[in-house]
Amino acid sequence: MKVQMLSRRVMQSLLRLQGCSCPSNSRVLSTSRVVLKSEHDKIDDEMKKITEKLGKEFEQSLKDGKTEPEIDKKFMNFKQLSEQKAHERSHIFTWKTVLGTFVVGGSMLLALFYIRKVRVEEAEKQRKLTAGKARIGGDWELQNTDGKLEGSEQLKGNWLLLYFGFTHCPDICPDEIEKMVKVVEQLERDKNPVKILPIFISVDPARDTLKRVKEYCAEFSPKLRGYSGTKEQVNKVAKTFRVYHSEGPKTAPHDYIVDHTVIMYLIDPQGNFHDYYGQNRRAEKRVMAKNPGNSEFVVKVPELNDMKRFTVLKFNNSIKIDPTTWANPECDIRMEREENRVLTSGLAAVQDFGEGTEYGKAAREEARRKKLGRRANQYSIDKQPWRMKINEADGKEKKLHSIREAAGTHADYWLFLKNGEEFHAYKVDDWHGFVPAITHKTLDIDEAEEEFTKRNRVMNQFALRAQILDKMKQKEADEEEEQKKGRKSGLMIKDEHSSSGSEGDDEKDEDGEEKKKKKVKKGAKPRKDKRVKVENSDEVAKYESEDGEDEGREYDYMSDSGSDSDRDIPMEDKVEKALVGVAEEEGLKKLMESDDSSEDDEDDPEKKLLNRKDDDDKKRRIDIEERDSSGSDSEVDDLDKDKLDSVILMPKKGGIMDGGAGTSTGIKRPADDTPKGPEVKKVKEEKEEGLTEEMVRKLLRTKPYTTKELLTKIKARCGGELPKAEMVTKLAAILKAIEPQQFKQKQGRKDVLFFSLSNTI
Amino acid sequence: MSRKRTRDEVDCEGAKRGVWLVKVPKYLSDIWEANAGSDVGRLNISASNNGKTVVKLKNRQGLIMPDNMEGATAKGGSIPEEHSFIIGDIVNQTMVVLGEDKKGLNEDINIRTGSLSLEGRVVKRAECRPPDSLAYLKMKIGHIEKSGQPKRHIQTIDKAAVKYKPVTMHDEDIARMKQKKEGIKTVRMDKDVLRQNIFMAFEKHEYYRLQDLQQLMNQPASYVKEILQEIAVYNSQPPHKSMWNLKPEYRSYST
């Protein structure tokens, strides 16, 4: 404490030092006054004194033995300081002053309240007084719903609650009338019931017939009495009650709204105006204004019904639906459950009756699955989401689908439905949130995948245009091709005939005629166009290089070259070409003739005899072999035939068929594709000439043959034209001429003679 | 207004009716369900001093308590007598109550939806709030404790329980089977009638096992087979192996 005091004094003295510049402190102020009075030297003296005094004090404190003073915990505790100061200040607010203010304030308030009360009462009185002076209300007469004239005279003795409105009123009138009815009901239910007659007066006599008013009133309460009348009558009544009413803008002759005052008038049994109520006062309040009472309802839980389920359907505001309009009979709402049986059970929907079904298959499947330890999910139709279709009265259609929501576990939801004076409570079983159904087509997963691969592709518009053009041209080209195909095949055959020369000149003439016809046909079409088309077909192939396309192109090329030649080469040239063909044929003929000559040689009787002698034993052997294995060897023959067909003959078919004279394969090949009458005939001719030396040579070169095999081979080649004996003799002769290598080999038990020719020769 | 409605059409006559949606604590909900068919309480609507309406639900005396409530009320806790309703508006959404009545569907109850009708639209949302009382807290504690207890306990037994050896076939079963078999064997139906029955069965399904048919007809297997051989063919190949179907001349499964 000592130290603290000391420090404070130091601070004070320091402040005194700064006195002239810091006038806020009172002590400093006093010193400053002294300073003002005295001279400057006086100040100096004082300064000295102070410094001496301070020095002394400091030394004394040092002498006390404590070089460093103990630091108090509360040293420099500003909070405590401020508290101390606050305490010092607080003595201004004593209990007395507090009491005084309360007394004064309270009395003032009381006075205020009293004045206000008086004023309100006065105002009320004033209001009632002015009303009582018949400025509002008075006698009135109108037609009641039964068509009788009725008015204030007849209704005297009752409290009346009057309301002016019109039956077409969209919102306010029904609300107000409801309120009115409520008020009347509540007042009747009270301990000391007050009977009030609710009265509805129409201000729209043009539209509100008595019948309509009656129906309208019956909707709200049987107690509600409706009144209407002629325009004059209504206007008169409205005037007596100072009710403003006027028809609003007409959109149609019978579609307008009447502006009118929304005020209820309370009339006392004497027929005088008692009070009025505006729109903003609520029914309860209006009742409570008379007598504050509570309403009580019984809450009842009806018998549980397993058959009935309650679902709350939730619609987001963005969907914009209005359930109040749904009651309109023009509005049509359909709802059905989504069919998800296939999805949940993981099985395809199986038909469970009729054709192709097995009895008890499902049960067996289920048993099998159970055996394997799987259990199918139970499918419940009641848990499936809804599909909803709303056809509103104005023709709009909305499609929604729901998402089933999970119910909470800690609380249940109950629906309170008002039923007379009771609330009926039903438990909510399900919740469904509705969202708009997707009506546009969506991609399935595969389609989406495909689209995704195209994501970085840049479209080349030129290429696209070209592609489209090509497609169109291709179509035309295809048609052209078909035409050409037919023509070409015809041409080829005719070339063949002309070159073969077997049928004679008359056919050739015919060909020529046909060619001419073709030419004419071609002439009809512009040449240039044709070329362009060919180019285009190439381009098409460039764009779309499919397998089939290439074939088409090749075909095209061939035919075009043909047609080109047809087109470009004049008639004389063509004739020459035909001549060339003939020449080739002649060469071929020569060869054939040589073969024939050789055959002729063989046919020479002398030679034949010689051959016979030589081959006698051989022939015999053959005969025996044939007899031995007539049945069984046929299989071998077949095999051989197959083999030959497949392995050897197939690739060289043409060559062998030609019987060694097949040099003109180039010309003949196309003919193979289209065997026609005369051509077949020619082949037959060849077959007749088939048994030649050359042919046998060829056969023997391929592999060693027994005589029997050779015979069957030749037989197959030449058909059944030659009689067997003749064939054998012929073969014998040929073999003699060829002089093949002979060797014996064991085949089974027997030794069989094989003939062969080495390829080197 | 009783025009014929198709199955998916919704009866919208109740769409105008206002309905309250009340959130009720589970225990109270259970009580209400246990007391279905009677009053559960009274709803008191009054105005408080500051102009707000106060809604309170007072339970009826002598409500039947459901079974699961016993543990909860054991430790001095009790179901609150009064719950306050906190009433709020429905914002940002429209709620409609749909009723689905499955009465009269009988066997189709699991296949079809019932008749649909709108019961009303939700105009107010209320929350049934229990009072902040000690009794209520005790009840809740009791609830929590009870729900924490395991349903099965381990119990030590002093004496060994009497056990029986498991038997595959009990005497009664054997006797019943025997009786059944004999019954089948003794009574042979008229052949024409049985044939007709078999045809009828084949109308429903194309393939049958002999065993199934025999059970369906309640006739001796040999007798059924005899008729089957007349009118049906036996499949020995996989798609419908070891099943019978009608001969082609008897078949007419029109599509």
Contact, A151 vs A140, CB < 8 A?
Answer: yes
Residues A258 and A154 in one domain: yes
Residue B181 lies in a domain: yes
Q: Which two tokens stand for residue A470?
A: 């090509």
Q: Does A436 touch chain B (CB under 8 A)?
A: no
Rounded to 5°, the CA angle A224-A226-A228 comes to: 170
CA–CA separation, A688 and A75 (whole Å): 145
Instruction: Reply yes or no on whether the pLDDT at B14 is more than 70.
Output: yes
Residues A106-134 as b or e (16 or more Cβ within 10 Å = b): eeeeeeeeeeeeeeeeeeeeeeeeebeee
Tokens (6 digits) for B221? 């297997």
A609 and A742 fall within a common domain = yes
Question: pLDDT (tens digit, 9 = 90+) per residue, A257-295?
Answer: 777 777 777 777 777 776 777 665 554 444 444 434 567
Give a yes or no: residue A349 inside a domain.
Answer: no
- Rounded CA-CA distance A283/A223 in Å is 17
Res A175: pLDDT: 81
CA distance A268 to A290: 14
B203 and B143 both lie in a single domain: no
Is residue A640 within 8 A of residue A709, CB to CB? The reply is yes
Extended strands (E) in A634-758: 705-706, 741-747, 750-756
Using CB atoms and an 8 Å cut-off, which of residues 119-148 of chain A contact chain B? none
Q: Give the 3-state DSSP-derived string for A156-168, with helices as H, strands as E and coil as C.
A: CCCEEEEEEECCC
pLDDT at residue A312 is higher than 90 = yes
Query: Cβ contact (<8 Å) for B102 and A308?
Result: yes
* Tens digits of residue pLDDT in A155-200: 777 778 888 888 877 777 778 888 888 888 877 777 666 777 888 8
pLDDT for residue A436 is more than 80: yes
The reply to whether B117 and B64 lie within a common domain is: yes
Give the residue-averaged pLDDT of B13-29.
Answer: 89
A718 is annotated as contributing to ligand binding: no
pLDDT score of A553 = 47
Assess whether B14 and B139 both reside in one domain.
yes
Neighbours of A177 (CB within 10 A): 23
| Domain endpoint, select from B116, B148, B180 | B148
Residue B208 confidence (pLDDT)? 93
Give the Cβ contact number of residue A731 at 10 Å.
Answer: 21
Q: Are A331 and A325 in contact (CB under 8 A)?
A: yes
Higher pLDDT, B72 or B146: B146
Q: According to the model, what pLDDT value does residue A71 have?
A: 54
Q: Strand B205-207 to strand A354-358: parallel, antiparallel, or no bridges (unpaired)?
A: parallel
- As a whole number of angstroms, the distance between CA B165 and CA A384 comes to 48
Beta bridge partners of A299: A423, B41
Which range (A210-224, A295-309, A414-428) has the least confidence? A210-224
Which residue has better confidence, A237 or A104?
Answer: A104
Residues A471 and A556 in one domain: yes
Q: How far apart are CA B226 and CA A703, in angstroms?
A: 67
Report the candidate in B136, B249, B145 with the shortest Cα–Cα distance to residue B202.
Answer: B249
CA–CA distance, B100 with A287 (Å, rounded to integer): 40
Residue A213 belongs to a domain = yes
This complex has an ipTM of: 0.71
Q: Cβ A313–B39 below 8 Å, yes or no?
A: no
Hey, what amino acid is at A116? R
A410–B205 C-beta distance less than 8 A: no
Does residue B122 share a domain with residue B27?
A: yes
B5 part of a folded domain: no
Could you tell me if B66 and B136 lie in one domain?
Answer: yes
Rg (CA), chain B: 33
| A336-356 per-position pLDDT tens digit | 898 887 776 655 556 677 778
Does residue B199 sit within a domain? Answer: yes
Cα(A616)–Cα(A504) distance, integer angstroms: 45
pLDDT at B1: 40
Closest C-alpha to A669, from A679, A678, A677, A681: A679
Which of A74-78, A498-502, A525-529 has the lowest average pLDDT?
A498-502
Mean pLDDT confidence for A49-57: 80
pLDDT of residue A601: 45
What is the pLDDT of chain B when averaged over all its residues? 85
Q: Are residues A263 and A316 in the same domain?
A: no
Q: CA nearest A358 in B: which residue?
A: B207
Last residue of one domain, picked from the residues A438, A457, A477: A438
Give the length of chain A. Answer: 761
pLDDT of the residue at A33? 47
Q: Is residue A370 part of a domain?
A: no
> Is A297–B42 a contact, with Cβ atoms under 8 angstroms apart?
yes
Structurally, chain B folds into a number of domains equal to: 2
- Residue A456: which pLDDT band, with cuts at 50, 70 and 90? confident
* A555: in domain: yes
Please tell me which of the candidates B23, B35, B103 has its beta carbon nearest to residue A413: B23
Q: Are residues B69 and B181 in the same domain?
A: no
> How much is the average pLDDT of A84-108?
82
- Per residue in A484-516, pLDDT tens? 765 544 444 444 444 444 444 444 444 444 444
Closest by CA to B35, choosing from B45, B27, B46, B43, is B27
CA distances from B205 to A15, A100, B200, B209, B226 (A): 119, 106, 9, 11, 20
- Which of A58-67, A517-526, A734-743 has the lowest average pLDDT? A517-526
A110 pLDDT tier (thresholds 50, 70, 90): very high
**Domain encompassing residue A62:** 2-90
Tokens of B168: 């595959």
Query: Is A355 in Cβ contact with B255 (below 8 Å)?
Result: yes
CATH number, domain of A143, equals 3.40.30.10
The answer to whether the CB of B122 falls within 8 A of the CB of A315 is no
Measure the CA dihedral A318/A323/A324/A329, to 10°: 130
Same domain? For B142 and B237 the reply is no
- Same domain? For B139 and B182 the reply is no
For residues A397 and A515, membership in a common domain is answered with: no
Measured in degrees and rounded to the nearest 5, phi and psi for residue A487 equal -65, -45
- How high is the pLDDT of residue B71? 64
Give the pLDDT confidence score for residue A524 in this predicted structure: 45
Which of A310, A321, A335 shows the shortest C-beta gap to B119? A310
Contacts of A356 in chain B (CB under 8 A): 206-207, 253
Co-location of B40 and B109 in the same domain: yes
pLDDT digits (tens, 9 = 90+) for A698-717: 888 877 888 888 888 887 77
Q: Please, what is the Cα angle at A618 between A614 and A624, to 5 degrees?
A: 150
pLDDT for A535 beyond 50: no
Those residues whose C-beta lies under 8 Å from the C-beta of residue B7, and which sit 6 or more positions away, are A336, B112, B113, B115
Domains in chain A: how many in total?
5
Same domain, residue pair B143 and B191: no
Q: Sort out which chain A residues have CB atoms less than 8 A from B21's CB and list them.
A: 312, 413-416, 428
What six digits make up the tokens of A606? Answer: 């002398």
Asked, for residue B162, whether it belongs to a domain, the answer is: no
Where b means 16+ CB within 10 Å and e means fewer, A450-478 reads: eeeeeeeeeeeeeeeeeeeebeebbeebe
What is the average pLDDT value for chain A, to the nearest integer?
68
Which one of B10, B32, B207 has the shortest CB-CB distance to A335? B10
Say yes or no: A140 and A229 in one domain.
Answer: yes
Cβ of B39 and A416 within 8 Å? no
Give the highest mean pLDDT range of A348-362, A508-522, A577-591.
Answer: A348-362
Residue range A95-106, pLDDT digits in tens: 888 899 999 999
Interface of A with B in 327-366 (CB under 8 A): 327-328, 331-337, 353-360
Does A511 lie in the same domain as A481? yes
Report the distance separating Cα A94 and Cα A201, nearest Å.
68
With contacts defined as CB-CB under 8 Å, which chain B residues touch A417?
A: 17, 19, 119-120
Worst-scoring range by mean pLDDT, A209-213, A348-352, A526-530?
A526-530
Q: Which of A439-448, A679-688, A747-756 has the lowest mean pLDDT?
A: A679-688
The answer to whether residue A118 is domain-embedded is: no
Pick the last residue of a domain from A70, A90, A110. Answer: A90
CA gap A691, A595 in Å, rounded: 10
- Write the pLDDT tens digit of every residue in B219-247: 888 899 999 999 999 999 888 899 998 99
Same-domain check for residues A607 and A749: yes
Residue A142 forms part of a structural domain:
yes
Q: Which of A31-40, A145-154, A703-712 is predicted most confidently?
A: A703-712
* pLDDT (tens digit per residue) in B84-133: 999 888 888 999 999 999 888 877 788 888 889 998 999 989 999 999 88
Burial of A678 (0-12, 13-18, 19+ CB in 10 A): middle
The predicted pLDDT at position A431 comes to: 93
Is residue B124 domain-resident? yes
Same domain, B132 and B179: no
CA distance A416 to A414: 6
Rg (CA), chain A: 64
Q: Give, for A314, the enclosing helix (H) or strand (E).
A: strand A308-316
Dihedrals phi, psi of A689, to nearest 5 degrees: -85, 5
pLDDT of residue A425: 92
Q: Is 70 exceeded by the pLDDT of residue B55?
A: yes
In a domain, B159, yes or no: no
Q: CA-CA distance, A534 to A528, in Å (whole number)?
A: 10
Amino acid identity for residue A349 in this structure: A
Q: Which of A41-45, B133-137, B194-198, B230-234 has the lowest mean pLDDT?
A: A41-45
* Co-location of B179 and B125 in the same domain: no
Question: What is the predicted pLDDT for the residue at A501?
Answer: 40
What span, in angstroms and rounded, lies between the C-alpha atoms of A589 and A609? 30
CATH number where B187 lies? 1.10.10.10
Mean pLDDT of A595-621: 49
- Residue A122: the pLDDT is 83
Q: Do B17 and A410 touch (CB under 8 A)?
A: no
Q: In which band, very low, low, confident or very high, does the pLDDT at B37 lie, cut at 50, 70 and 90?
A: confident
Which DSSP letter does residue A456 get? T
Confidence (pLDDT) at A472:
92
Do B45 and B55 contact (CB within 8 A), yes or no?
yes
Residue B193 belongs to a domain = yes
In a domain, B153, yes or no: no
- What's the CA gap between A237 and A150, in Å, rounded? 12
From residue A740, alpha-carbon distances to A516, A599, A659, A716, A761 in Å are 55, 18, 19, 22, 11
Residue located via tokens 């079904």: A357
Same domain, yes or no, for A431 and A487? no
Q: Is residue A579 part of a domain?
A: no
**Domain span at B243:** 171-250
- C-alpha to C-alpha distance for A66 and B12, rounded to whole angstroms: 100
Nearest to A301 among B16, B35, B120 (CB): B35
Torsion from C-alpha of A616, A622, A628, A630, nearest 10 degrees: -130
Please name the residue of chain A whose CA is at the shortest distance from the CA of residue B91. A317
Residues A286 and A305 in one domain: no
The conformation of residue A546, written as its DSSP 8-state character, comes to -
Q: What six digits make up the tokens of B24?
A: 């009720």
DSSP one-letter code for B244: E
Task: Give the C-alpha separation, A484 to A521, whole Å.
Answer: 12
A173 marked as binding residue: yes
As a whole number of angstroms, the distance between CA B210 and CA B240 comes to 13
Residue among A581, A566, A592, A573 at smallest CA distance from A495: A581
Alpha helix segments (H runs only) across A501-604: 505-524, 527-543, 547-568, 571-603
Local confidence band at A126 (pLDDT 50, 70, 90 cut-offs) = low
Contacting residues for A708 by C-beta, under 8 A, at least 6 apart: A622, A625, A626, A629, A633
A674 occurs within a structural domain: yes
Q: pLDDT value at position A279?
A: 63
